[in-house]
Copies of this chain bind each other. A is one copy, B any other.
Amino acid sequence: MSKRVAIVGASGYSGEELVRLLLQHPYAELVAVTSRQSAGQTVGQVFPRFASHPKARALRFTEPNVAALVETADVILLALPHGVAAEYAVPLVEAGKVVIDLSADFRLRSAAVYQEFYGHPHPAPGLLATAVYGMPEVYREAIRNTRLVASPGCYPTSILLPLLPLLRAGLVRPTGIIADSLSGVTGAGRKAEVDYLFCECNESLRAYGVPKHRHLSEIEEQLGLAAGIPVTIQFTPHLVPVNRGIHTTLYLAPTTAFTTAAEAAVIGERIAACYAEAYADEPFVRVLEGKALPDTKNVVGTNHLELAWRLDPRTGRLIVLSAQDNLLKGASGQAVQSLNLICGYPETAGLVP
């Protein structure tokens, strides 16, 4: 039952987390890691924190090579920049392999929207229809049956998981949605740029990508599918000095207006029931109770997203807050969830505790 797994582009932060998860995975077998800059070195040399793991001492990075990947692996995880991933995905899918792509290349169904947000034509529009958006809470069965998973982005996960059940149930309006997000600096990748130096990020709070961030495209497409009509949202990402974690605050309008605590209580019961139906049995989504609010320190290092909500009778709004680890539920952990589904492993294999 053990599948042979390769990671292409494993030298960034998401790649490192994929390596960590697969080194400790009970069923999958990590057989290859590739990276142009690290080729020839062992996994333990590139990532000293794994240096005591026997496989990390034995396995060496290689140059990425499609033919070798076809030979060696059953499942290939792509942790590559947007645009580069498709170059590998196309021949690997054609060769009958399972591909789980962590880039944005196959997250959109529309090649036109891709071009609008990424500024160049889609490199492989023919594959868009076959790719499945790798969010198991939404597309579990489709993921089990595909050979190409487009694993979601970190901001989209932090916004979609709290929002999709409410939209599908018609509990909130699909208009006027605002998502205000805070992200740790691993979200920027392991890039040698002045903006992400310690002293430029420490003791700094700043927004960026205002008002039109690329991730909007996949967020809005998924929201539109849930709402049944096109959805446009306001999204503001902020960079804050933590290594890992995304915190999102959503400002929503319930479809039923309310101005009193009593009216809020009625709506609150529906929201609670909606989330319970969506997530009570989900292993990686946690709806907080009582006075608790999400805190990234409670989810960093895990594949969990936690969320809480509040109704405000003063404004008639619903506030939903979520926290997750951008590298796990927001990237590599969620990709391993998809891998587990495709390979027929328990969905939580290698992800808990």
Contact = CB atoms under 8 A, between A and B. Distances in A.
A65 interface: no
A205 B242 contact: yes
A203 B293 contact: no
B194 A190 contact: yes
Contacts of A38: none
Task: Pick the most buried of A24, A51, A299, A301: most chain B CB atoms within 10 A of its CB.
Answer: A51
Interface stretch (A70-78, A135-143, A268-276, A314-322): A314-322
Given A249-B180, A251-B251, A310 B197 contact: no
Contacts of A246: 205
A27 interface: no
A194 B192 contact: yes
A118 interface: no
A103 interface: no
Contacts of A286: 51-52
A49 interface: yes
Contacts of A83: none
Interface string A228-250: 00001110101011111111010
A244 B211 contact: no
User: What number of copies of this chain does the assembly contain?
Assistant: 4
Given A190-B197, A292-B48, A319 B211 contact: yes
Interface string A208-232: 1011100000000000000000001
A345 interface: no
A310 B211 contact: yes
B296 A203 contact: yes
A241 B202 CA distance: 9
Place the interface of chain A in its size category.
Answer: 35 or more
Task: Pick the most buried of A23, A205, A241, A352: most chain B CB atoms within 10 A of its CB.
Answer: A205
A54 B180 CA distance: 32
A297 B245 contact: no
Contacts of A249: 180, 207, 236, 238
B182 A240 contact: yes
A178 interface: yes
11 contacts: A49-B297, A49-B298, A182-B205, A184-B199, A185-B199, A202-B243, A205-B246, A210-B321, A232-B315, A238-B247, A240-B240
Given A53-B353, A197-B197, 14 more contacts: A50-B353, A52-B284, A180-B249, A192-B197, A198-B200, A203-B203, A203-B244, A204-B295, A204-B297, A207-B294, A207-B321, A212-B312, A238-B249, A241-B241
Q: Which 3 A-B pairs have the closest CB atoms?
A: A211-B312, A24-B353, A205-B247
